[in-house]
Structure 1
Amino acid sequence: MSKIEYLKRGFLLATLLGFLGCQPTNTDRVSQQLSEDTSSVNQTEDEVSLDWFTSSALEDTDIISSPEAKLFIEDVYQTLDREIFDPAFKKAEREQHLSELLAEAEAKPKWTRAELAARISEQLNRLAVSHVRLLDPTEGERLFRIFEQKPLPDAATPEPSVSAEMRGKIGILRVKSFIVPLITKAQLDQAKAQLAQAKVILIDVRGNEGGYGSSVSYAVEDIVGADKVLWWDRTREGLQMEEPYVFRGYFDDADNVEAEADIALGEEHPYVEWRTRLEAQQDPRPHFVLIDDRCGSACDLFAGVVKDHGSAGILGVRTMGALLGGDAFRLRWEGFALIAPTVQVISPKGLTIEGVGVPPDVEIPECANGGSQCLERAIQMIQAGAV
């Protein structure tokens, strides 16, 4: 299994790298690598991995000619056009942005590599689409070290992604990430066991910026119950398919079996309906989910599933609305990659969360912008029976 496959079909969002400062995702199909910058790269190897970023000798200060700038711009947008989940999605905007960039590159005889990358990133950001990002060697290395479990030498030990605490009769389950291996089912089960005496469960997903759909599957099944539709996802190859392949359950994440199986599922079935297991046991206790405007991607999905099934009260403020599945693809410059949205995700009620977000059932203004009183306010409302 290639190392980058940890990211395959991951609902990884633009701000997933909140602790990095950038964004995520997966494998690729290289088209052309004609630049002198990549002439030393083995062109038969198209894997995006940590090595792709760390082996790059390119510098931000390198001077790029106008013709080379145009070649790189075209490579970025051709890759996006080729890999995006729907060729028609924002096509006019993509073509306009490409035209503007090419005109700028024609007018300016020299660029630094950093200047050109920054200008392309500005245009990509204007699309307002999650999982679209240009990665340079530095950002790519920091991101892929997370997924390949090779932390930077000076990196601080991360806090646990799953934790539990009791506040009176309320059990609070904190889920900071849906990324494997930052979260596993064993960790989640252990945390839930600490809340066995709770009368009410509050699941706090504020600031959770994404991860795997399979992680959402096992986190949500005891809330919504057995054999419930969780979501549909569809790649470009599945656009014309009428009937999805039905998959119940989740993958074993103990040894990254989840990632490997998830890839195979996506490659064999471009249109998939995800359901909870037939043997899933629903927790009868009242549940609440606390969301905020930093909850995105797989976190968007978790909130959307719960809301569509009406199986828990949603508190806080509207989620980010950044729910597309993404992959990473090599570009012509060694150490550069494009994250492109390759999977469309639809909620159980057939709703598109991308660009919209999930609204709460009960608004808590204190939850906006990382408000420090959000959790306390939610607890007060639950204790008072106001929700």
Structure 2
Amino acid sequence: MIRAFCAAVLVAACSMSAPVSSPATASGGRCSPATAPPARSAPPTSVSTLRQAYFCVLDHYYGGPAMDPAALLKSAFAAYTQDLMRRDADRSDLRLPELTGDRDSDWAAFAEVLGAGDVSALRAAITAMVAGLHDDHARAVRPALQPEGGPAGTGIVGLSAQQGEQLDPAAKPPLFITSVLPGSPAAKAGIRAGDIIVKAGGVPAFIGNTVNQSIVAAFAADPVKLTLKRPTTGRTRAVSLKEAPLTRRPAAVTAKPLPGGALHVRLPGFFEGAADQVIAQLKGKPKAVVLDLRGNGGGSPREVRRLLGAFAHGMVTSYFCPLKGECVPNRSDDGVALLGSRLIVLTDRGCASACEDFSAAVKDNGLGTLVGTRTAGAVSGPAEGYLLDDGSLLLLPKVRHLGPARETLDTIGVPVDHYAPMTALDLATGRDPAVARALALV
């Protein structure tokens, strides 16, 4: 299951795990399956690219055959004209043509109105068309080439309200930093986990009790200008961060013993081999496993099923459902030896996609207890990549995801059994309410 989160808001460059083919394979007026690394150059976005995206959604998105083509074009046209207006480039003759719902004739009328098209507005139209599917795993992506010397950024790689590429609309004040890369510009500036962001780029983090989504753009600036408050002292200071090369350690499972015969295991993502790394840490068969999935952005559904197989056999872990026909059950990997340990899972709003798949399977099958906060609500079926002629990529799920009880998790998330949120002061002082609550349950 692809969690398409890319920390571009916080880090200037990030890699994309989905393969992409060379532009030459995207021909004949249709998108093509992504099969190879991206080319270093591609033609500019054109009306032909928008046409590819339109038919690609209708042909390959699981809900495409049942969609109203006119709705796709309306979303695209609204974004197209808004982009022109923002740049004072609106056209007096630009009006949405009459659309009938016939995909071919509607496109012909639409293309005639656009004429040669505007590159920036066309890109906005493609993004809006895919965003209009309201599917977290459906994305329009322009892969960025990794700069010389590797990825660069400020080193702030976690926010309390972070939820994919936006900020969690359910977040409550304050907004605080949850993770800083060692040796990064942020670390060298003395920024620590728990520091509260009062403003970013001069923009307040919250308007009343509502998180301000517009501060996302402030993290894309260079330098990034922040007003921070240290929760332990109340001191406020201004910081300006210039991007610099970053060193990221490969994702890995870590573990440490807890009182009462429990083991705290942190799993940062369902990357290849993640399940076996966790199982290796549990060979001593501890009395209880506190599996920490906070900030786990997802990964492979195969790893989810394999890890669940260490706690129960013969269970349905989730369903993948086509537009029509029967849903296909996913099942635990029963080739994994059972551990027999009690399971307590820690979740938060950063637990997304495959992480939610795992959490729902634990909850619905009665495998353990969930502690922390509700998960992100950002889960869908596995997405496949399709290349457009400008070198960009559409990620489109072929199926939709349901939990083991056939419940929808996307936009909703998995609720916890025991609410134990992390605060800025907790992070700053080294307290962990979720772990404390878990220990009380052991």
CA shift, 1:372, in A, is 6.5
- Over the aligned positions, Cα root-mean-square deviation in angstroms equals 3.8
Greater C-alpha Rg: 2
Distance 1:189 1:91 in 2: 48
Q: Does 1:14 align with 2:14?
A: no
Q: Does 1:331 align with 2:364?
A: no
Is the Cα–Cα contact under 8 Å of residues 24 and 131 in structure 1 kept in the other structure?
Answer: no
Distance 1:26 1:381 in 2: 41
Structure 1 residues 201 and 361, CA gap change in structure 2 (3 angstroms): same
Distance 1:279 1:46 in 2: 36
Q: Deviations over 1:74-123 (max 9, x none)?
A: 32122112111123368775353134346668738887645542453255
Which residue number in structure 2 is paired with residue 163 of structure 1? 254
Structure 1 residues 82 and 41, CA gap change in structure 2 (3 angstroms): closer
SS at match of 1:160: coil
Distance 1:211 1:372 in 2: 29
CA shift, 1:373, in A, is 7.7
Which residue number in structure 2 is paired with residue 117 of structure 1? 123
Is the Cα–Cα contact under 8 Å of residues 25 and 326 in structure 1 kept in the other structure?
Answer: no
SS at match of 1:222: coil
Is the Cα–Cα contact under 8 Å of residues 322 and 398 in structure 2 kept in the other structure?
Answer: yes
Identify which of 44, 48, 60 aligns with 2:34: 48
Which residue number in structure 2 is paired with residue 191 of structure 1? 281
Give unmatched runs, 5+ long, in structure 1.
1-10, 31-37, 147-153, 243-270
Distance 1:79 1:170 in 2: 50
Distance 2:345 2:430 in 1: 12
Is the Cα–Cα contact under 8 Å of residues 16 and 143 in structure 2 kept in the other structure?
Answer: no
Q: Deviations over 1:9-55 (max 9, x none)?
A: xx112315577558764689x9xxxxxxx6x668499452453x233
Distance 1:280 1:221 in 2: 6
CA shift, 1:360, in A, is 0.8
Structure 1 residues 126 and 327, CA gap change in structure 2 (3 angstroms): same
Structure 1 residues 288 and 113, CA gap change in structure 2 (3 angstroms): same
Q: Does 1:97 align with 2:75?
A: yes
Is the Cα–Cα contact under 8 Å of residues 422 and 434 in structure 2 kept in the other structure?
Answer: no
Distance 2:350 2:315 in 1: 27
Is the Cα–Cα contact under 8 Å of residues 171 and 198 in structure 1 kept in the other structure?
Answer: yes
Counterparts of 1:184-223 in structure 2 under 5 Å?
184-193=274-283, 196=284, 198-223=286-311
CA shift, 1:314, in A, is 0.4
Taking structure 1 as the reference length, the TM-score comes to: 0.67
Counterparts of 1:12-91 in structure 2 under 5 Å?
12-15=2-5, 25=18, 43=27, 46-51=32-37, 53-58=38-43, 68=46, 70-87=47-64, 88=66
CA shift, 1:321, in A, is 1.5
Which structure has the higher relative contact order (CA within 8 Å, separation 6+)? 1
Q: Deviations over 1:131-151 (max 9, x none)?
A: 121121417x79xx99xxxxx
Is the Cα–Cα contact under 8 Å of residues 315 and 363 in structure 1 kept in the other structure?
Answer: yes
Structure 1 residues 221 and 42, CA gap change in structure 2 (3 angstroms): closer
Specify the code of the residue in structure 1 equivalent to 2:387. R
Structure 1 residues 42 and 376, CA gap change in structure 2 (3 angstroms): closer
Distance 1:339 1:371 in 2: 35
Give unmatched runs, 5+ long, in structure 2.
85-90, 95-113, 152-244
Taking structure 2 as the reference length, the TM-score comes to: 0.60
CA shift, 1:166, in A, is 1.3
Is the Cα–Cα contact under 8 Å of residues 76 and 126 in structure 2 kept in the other structure?
Answer: no
Q: What count of residue pairs does the alignment treat as equivalent?
A: 310
Identify which of 251, 264, 276 aligns with 1:172: 264
Distance 1:372 1:300 in 2: 27
Identity level (%): 20
